Amino acid sequence: MRPGLRTALFLAPATAWLLVMLVMPLVVVIVFSFGERGAAGGYVPAFTLDNYANLGARWTAFRNTLTLAPLGTVLCLLIAWPLAYFLALKADPRWRTVLLILVIVPFWTSLLIRSYAWIQILGGSGLPRIIADLGLGKPRLINTPFAVMVGIVYGYLPLMVFPIYVALEKLDRRLLEASGDLGSPPWRTVLQVTLPLSMAGVATGSMLVFILLMGEFLVPQILGGGKVFFVGNALVDLFLQSRNWPFGAAVAATLVAVMLVTVTLYMRAIRRLSGGRDDVALM
């Protein structure tokens, strides 16, 4: 068989899949976003910018997403970095692999069920009751932004730890020794040597978490109880309840556009800061 023909044959199924299930649907979203809503919902062909002009109607969802997604990313980063540092440089090498797998595994298990676990912890008969029994007042935890934040950090922490760990593990340990030999106290070595050298991992991890948070639906739905909603929740409402497809398509297209712009700007800033390259790690 000619090599060119074999390449074409091997690529055929993936190409068909990408075109029919990715390119075509995304094109349909863009086309629909310029259309009008039918009387019974659905879509009527038209060319109008009304859907985009109307985006303000869902401003709360965009505002929540654009504040809580970056906040969640930063919280994940603050909690993940010391753990990745511990795993890469301080943990017993014999246990390193097991400890790392223990961090990654939760990410690949059902987010739905892991979020559901927090309903029981933060719900009325969980933590709040324990706090009340201790005589510390009666806090309301479930269905608050706090609950959503806990769920987000819980859900996406593993995704942040892994790339930072990879960056720290590759780091040349002699640099750390040199820093110590030259009289730097440990905290200074961490700040001036370890932290800058982990920037590629920090960039990858933050980007992955941020992208997933921008499209989040489950955590705000389950732990925010409809009071703290993201663009994802607005989309579900527009497509499955009010069946306003053209407006929903405009919201979805805007979400992807905002994501692309933020991520591109962010990556450019990081590249300029570190001068290094970024490796996207998926697992």
Partner 1 sequence: MRIYAILVYLFLYIPIGIIALFSFNAGRHAAQFTGFSLQWYGTVLSNPFVIGALKTSVIVALSSAALATLSGTLAAVALQGVRGRMRAFYDALIYMAVMVPGIVIGIATLIALVTVFDVLNPMLSGLFGEGAPRLALGKGSLIAAHGLFTMALVTVIVRARLQGMDRALLEASSDLGAPPMRSFLQITLPQIAPAVLAGFLLSFTFSFDDFIIAFFVAGSETTLPIYVFSSIRRGVTPEINAIGTMVLVASLLTLVSAQVILRRRAR
CB of 168 to partner 1, least distance (A): 13
Piece of 51-59, 69-77, 163-171, 250-258 that binds partner 1 (CB under 8 A): 250-258
Residues 215-234 interacting with partner 1 (rule: CB under 8 A): 215, 217-218, 222, 232
Cα dihedral: 76, 212, 55, 142 (round 10): -60
| Contact between 20 and partner 1 per CB under 8 A | yes
Contacts of 157 (CB under 8 A, 6+ apart): 76, 79, 80, 103
Residues of this chain, 29-68, that bind partner 1 according to CB under 8 A: 29, 32, 43
**Does residue 173 bind partner 1 (CB under 8 A)?**
no
Quote the DSSP letter at residue 55.
G
Cα–Cα distance between 226 and 124 in angstroms, integer?
A: 17
Q: Is 171 in the site for partner 1 (CB under 8 A)?
A: no
- CA distances to 73, 75, 229, 242 from 217, rounded to whole Å, are 16, 19, 8, 17
Instruction: Tell me: does residue 142 bind partner 1 (CB under 8 A).
Output: no
DSSP state of 135: T
Please choose, out of 20-28, 56-64, 166-174, 194-202, the segment that lies near partner 1 by the rule CB under 8 A: 20-28
Name which of residues 73 to 112 contact partner 1 (CB under 8 A): 79, 82-83, 85-87, 90-91, 97, 99, 101-106, 108-112
Q: Does 26 bind partner 1 (CB under 8 A)?
A: yes
Q: What CA–CA distance (Å, rounded) separates 87 from 95?
A: 9
